[in-house]
Structures are given as structure tokens and as C-alpha cells.
A and B are shown apart, each in its own frame.
Chain A
Amino acid sequence: MASSAITAGSEPVFHLEEEHAHAEGGSTMLGFWLYLMSDCLIFAMLFAAYGVLGGNYAAGPAPKDLFDLGLVAVNTTMLLLSSITYGFAMLTMDKGRVGATQAWLVVTILFGLAFLSIELYEFAHMIHEGATPQRSAFLSSFFTLVGTHGLHVTFGIVWMVTLMVQVARHGLIEANRRRLMCLSMFWHFLDVVWIGVFTFVYLMGMLR
């Protein structure tokens, strides 16, 4: 059997003789998507921890005593608005309009900062009332989950500022378009995680 494969004295070749050329950055989007999926697993762990520990108040404050759904609704609106304005930035980027792209990025950053400010105000208010992360397992897991999401938003804003500088210096070149597309995925992904946060942590917490 083996001898039949080796015919006419030449070794059989089971691989391409030369690797075909890849366009530069052609696999970046898939690679970044895989990163987002691994990030998704981090959040899954934190959600699982919150799901297990979320009912252990240690005779401390419960969600009903702490959460202000009106504030969370405003927060959710800020993040959703920042998502759509980033979408507008991508649309103007497609048309090659640098000024409009930068302007939409600024609007997105402002909404992102509004989200962070409201979240920090909420955290400060809770800590002021004695609901610190050390108070109970519920609060430890709450601050870890929501705080991790907030950190992601923070770094997303830092990344956005960096890209605005890049676009200002080099314009909407191919590399910058690719980077903006990666950040687009990151930003929309954070909004997807927030859907989980406001549903499982805030809304279900109030139902408990």
C-alpha cells in the first residue's frame, strides 16, 4: 500500500509547497473576535460567581436597599447611545470623512464618560452607606462583576482617545480603519455584556 503512494521515485507531498500570501491584517478581525470570546468567558465566570454568591447578604444590605433603577436606566441609555454614535463614526469612516469620524468619536467618548461617572457615583454612594465590597459575599461579587465591566469601558475610552490621535496624525489609513473596526467590536461587545449586567444584577436583584 505504502509503496503505491511513492511512484516514479518522487515523495508524495501532503502540504502546499509555498504558503499563499495573506493580505496584511486580513486575520486581525477574526483574531480580535477570538479575544472577545475569551473576554466573554471572564465575564461568564464573574456572572457565575455573582449567581452563586448574590444571595449571601451576611445580614447586610440587599439589592432592594441599594439599587436605584432610575439611575441604572439612565446609565443603560448612556451606553446604548454611545453604541449607536460609534456606529455613526464607522459609517462616516467608510465615507472617508475624517472630521465627522472624529466628531462622532468625541460624542462616543462623552457618553462613555457619562456612563462611568454615573457608575462611580453609584459606587461612591453605596460605599458611603457602608455597602463596601468587604461587607458581604453579595457585595464582593457585585463590585467585582460591575467593576470589571467599568474597567473595560475605561480602557475602551483610553483606546478611543489613542485612536483619535492616530487618525489626526495619519488620517484614515488602512491600519487606522482596522484599529477602529476592532474598537467597534470591543465597544459593542461591552454593551452586550451590560445587557447581562442590568438584567441579572439589577433587574433580577430587585425581583428577589
Chain B
Amino acid sequence: MSAHDHADRDHTHGGAAHGSLRGYLIGFVLSVILTAIPFWMVMTGAMDNKQAAAIIIMAFAVVQIVVHMVFFLHMTPASEGGWSMLALIFTVILVVIVLSGSLWVMYHLNANMMPGLHEMREMP
């Protein structure tokens, strides 16, 4: 029993490893680069096409979030026996449903309500 206890404790330590100095520095340098480029793009107006710029900025954000997850939060598919990753995947699915669902529904609601706005203005 005590041997099992010991193995269990070792396992939890392995799952929550704190990374190395090298890992933190790589994460930091990547984050600085991934932050600086979108800020530079928007502040200098380097992109004329705003829609393309928005998509590129969002792509940088997604990559940077992954960098933080890997190098700062030390997420691996194996941490906590896979339950961390499972919880994360579940949360990401919910977040995507909430965000895309809200924007999609409310965009169409706004689009369909627009004529009403004009009628309101013409009212006495």
C-alpha cells in the first residue's frame, strides 16, 4: 500500500512539472514576438484590408494562447492522467459555441430589426 502511495505522489509531481528555465524563456520570447507583430500591424496600419488584418490578428492570438498553454501552464495530453486536456477540450467547445452562437444569432437579429429602426425615426 505504501509503495502505491509513493508511486501516486510521484505521478502527481510528474504531471504538474514546472518546466525549465529554457521552457519559460522560449515561451516568453515567442509571446513577445506574437504580441509585437499584431500591435505593429494595427498601430502602423500596415494592412489596408481590415478584414484580412482582423483574421491575421486572431490567428496570432490563437497561436499565442497555445504557446502560453504549453510553456507557461505546462499542458500536455498526459498531465493529470489526461483529465486536464479533456476538461480543456470540453471548455473550448463550449466557448466556441457561446461565442459563435451569440455573434451569429445577434447579427441576424440586428439585420432583421434594422427596418424597424427607420420606422421609429419617422414616427412623430
Contact = CB atoms under 8 A, between A and B. Distances in A.
Interface of A: 20-23, 26, 29-30, 33-34, 37, 40-41, 44-45, 47-49, 51-52, 69-70, 72-73, 76-77, 80, 83-84, 87-88, 90-91, 93-94, 181, 184-185, 188-189, 191-192, 195-196, 198-200, 203-204, 206-208
Nearest to A202: B42
A76 B36 CA distance: 10
Contacts, number: 136
A33 B60 CA distance: 24
A70 B42 CA distance: 11
A97 to B, nearest CB: 14
Interface of B: 1, 4-5, 8-9, 12, 15-16, 18-21, 24-25, 27-28, 31-32, 35, 38-39, 42-43, 50, 53-54, 57-58, 60-61, 64-65, 68-69, 72-73, 80, 83-84, 87-88, 90-91, 94-95, 98-99, 102-103, 106
Nearest to B23: A87
A75 B80 CA distance: 33
A196 B35 CA distance: 11
B9 A26 contact: yes
Contacts of A23: 5, 8-9, 12
Nearest to B106: A52
Given A91-B24, A204-B57, A47 B99 contact: yes
A51 B35 contact: no
B100 to A, nearest CB: 9
Given A83-B31, A199-B61, 9 more contacts: A21-B4, A26-B12, A30-B87, A41-B95, A51-B103, A77-B35, A88-B24, A195-B35, A199-B57
A184 B68 CA distance: 12
Binding site secondary structure of chain B: helix
Contacts of A41: 91, 94-95, 98
Contact of B39 (A20, A69, A94, A207): A69
B29 to A, nearest CB: 10
18 contacts: A20-B4, A21-B1, A23-B9, A30-B84, A33-B88, A37-B90, A41-B91, A48-B103, A51-B99, A73-B43, A80-B35, A83-B28, A87-B28, A196-B65, A199-B61, A203-B42, A207-B42, A207-B54
B17 to A, nearest CB: 9
A159 to B, nearest CB: 17
Nearest to B71: A87
Nearest to A205: B42
